[in-house]
Copies of this chain bind each other. A is one copy, B any other.
Amino acid sequence: MTVTPPNSSARFPAGLDRDSLESGEVLAPSFNSDGLVAAVATHAQSGEVLMLAWMNDEALDLTIRTGEAHYYSRSRQELWRKGETSGQVQRVSEMRVDCDQDAIWLKVTPQGDGGACHVGRRSCFYRAVEGGKLVFRD
């Protein structure tokens, strides 16, 4: 019986040594035990952090190939093309990966109404922690 480790992927190489992972030119994401990497999206123009979500290998592959952000919805347990229903499609102008390749940074331009959050705000991070409570911010 062949045991497939949880972070293996048909779409990306796995099992690189640390030096190759940190200093190499090969994208070899370190998916966690659920097969996911964290992805942070910032606004390509303002630099504002818009959202933090998750990608499985399919979402990452589709984001690279289409130039539009795809994520994996942990609550719905399915691939999620951002903006599919809301129109808030995210055009990706740059994708980066971090040192140990378990996080992705997308610079995106939101389409539709220009927002990124399901509650109707531009960014999901619309509250600051101040003096022990949350304060709403633009």
Taking residues whose C-beta sits less than 8 angstroms from the other chain, chain A's interface range is 35 or more
CB of A117 within 8 Å of the partner chain: yes
Neighbouring B residues of A126 by C-beta, 8 Å: 96, 99
Number of copies of this protein chain within its complex: 2
Q: Which of A1-9, A76-84, A130-138 contacts B (4 or more CB under 8 A)?
A: A130-138
Q: With contacts A38-B52, A49-B42, A52-B103 known, is A134 near B26, CB below 8 A?
A: yes
Least CB distance from A76 to B in Å reads 13
Neighbouring B residues of A27 by C-beta, 8 Å: 129, 132-134
Interface residues of A (CB under 8 A from B): 22-27, 38, 40, 42, 47-49, 51-52, 64, 94-99, 103, 105, 117-119, 121, 124-129, 132-135, 137
